[in-house]
Amino acid sequence: MKKKKIGIFSITGCAGCQLSMIFDKRIFPFLQAFDVIEFPFIKAYAKHEPEHYDIIFMEGSVSSEEDLELLKRLRDKTSVLVAIGACACTGGVQCVKASFNRADVEKSIYSKPTAIGNIGAGPLSKYVKVEYAINGCPVNQDKLFAVASALLIGKSQVPSDRSVCFECSLRENGCLLDKNKPCVGPITAEGCNALCPSNDAECIGCNGPLKEANREAFLEMLKEKGYTEKRLVSLLDKFGVPDGINKA
Ligand code: SF4
Ligand code: SF4
Ligand code: SF4
């Protein structure tokens, strides 16, 4: 059987998703099942880009014209596009600046803001069709392997409809909300085995929003606990949220 052609690509981000992939000892035997065309951290750039990929995995947010150009070109060449990590799925930590005046942010960092050419950070799905979005900062490896394995044998994966609270209760953790700590686990998709609450730290939402969550009710509950609107925005904008902070 012909191996599926795959490519792993990066746009604006910290490259931590790719790094975490190569540090997972399952990756190298797994890659043998594919024809790996691009994987910058472990392979030189292909001299001739193929006409077609079966699957492209892309990390990073779309933040510049160059990012957008690459994304669109690769979208046209691939059967399946998989967004990996919070940057690619929801815009990531770069979206924190969306809560501030853009000109003020640019002026505070760069001496010549006109030379920046930034189009504002956004997820891949803001511009092109994405078949799978595997969230996490860095990308959740177990989910990545589950999706990649399913694609390898031509199956599809159904997204989870459970929150971090589900995993938290399996681990028999006490709830941080009861200690008045603003944990956003109830509106965040599972997949990390409730890593942060299990270590007494609030979930800050790196797995991305849980689509079915009752976000309004959750925010209302936090307001009743005394959290201001400003504090709620700062809780929710850490990894970017598609279509604005209040509409995940
Ligand atoms: S999701 Fe996190 S680890 Fe991955 S590229 Fe973005 S900032 Fe880096
Ligand atoms: S600590 Fe957070 S994740 Fe765990 S049950 Fe409470 S709200 Fe949910
Ligand atoms: S508990 Fe929340 S912030 Fe921590 S790893 Fe899981 S999803 Fe990310």
pLDDT digits (tens, 9 = 90+) for 8-67: 999 999 999 999 999 998 998 889 999 999 998 887 777 788 899 999 999 999 999 999
What's the pLDDT tens digit per position in 89-148?
989 888 877 777 777 877 887 777 666 777 888 999 999 999 999 989 999 888 898 888
Ligand 3 atom at minimal distance to the Cα of residue 188: 7
Position 92, amino acid: G
Ligand 3 atom at minimal distance to the Cα of residue 204: 3
pLDDT at position 241, please?
56
Q: Ligand 3, from 141, 163, 192, 236: best to mutate by most atoms within 8 Å of Cβ?
A: 192
**Residues with Cβ < 8 Å from 196, sequence gap 6 or more?**
183, 202, 203, 204
- Asked if omega into 138 is within 30° of 0 (cis), the reply is yes
H or E segment to which residue 40 belongs: none
Ligand 1 atom at minimal distance to the Cα of residue 137: 2
User: What is the Å distance from ligand 3's center to 63 Cα?
Assistant: 24
User: What is the Å distance from ligand 1's center to 220 Cα?
Assistant: 30
User: What is the Å distance from ligand 1's center to 99 Cα?
Assistant: 19
**Local confidence band at 79 (pLDDT 50, 70, 90 cut-offs):** very high
- Give the phi and the psi of residue 159 in degrees, each rounded to 5: -65, 150
Residues facing residue 58 across a β-bridge: 9, 83
92 lines ligand 1 (CB under 6 A): yes
**Least confident among 31-40, 190-199, 238-247:** 238-247
Three-state DSSP state, 195: coil
Q: Which ligand is nearest to the CA of 206?
A: 3
87 lines ligand 1 (CB under 6 A): yes
* Distance in angstroms (rounded) separating the CA atoms of residues 9 and 18: 9
* Distance in angstroms (rounded) separating the CA atoms of residues 179 and 195: 18
User: What is the Å distance from ligand 2's center to 186 Cα?
Assistant: 6
* Distance in angstroms (rounded) separating the CA atoms of residues 210 and 166: 12
pLDDT at position 42, please?
84
86 lines ligand 3 (CB under 6 A): no
Residue-range domains of the chain with CATH: 4-152 (3.40.50.700), 164-236 (no CATH)
Q: Which ligand is nearest to the CA of 139?
A: 1
Q: Which ligand is nearest to the CA of 165?
A: 2
User: Are residues 117 and 64 in contact, defined by beta-carbon separation less than 8 angstroms?
Assistant: yes
pLDDT at position 161, please?
79
Ligand 3 atom at minimal distance to the Cα of residue 195: 1
207 lines ligand 3 (CB under 6 A): yes
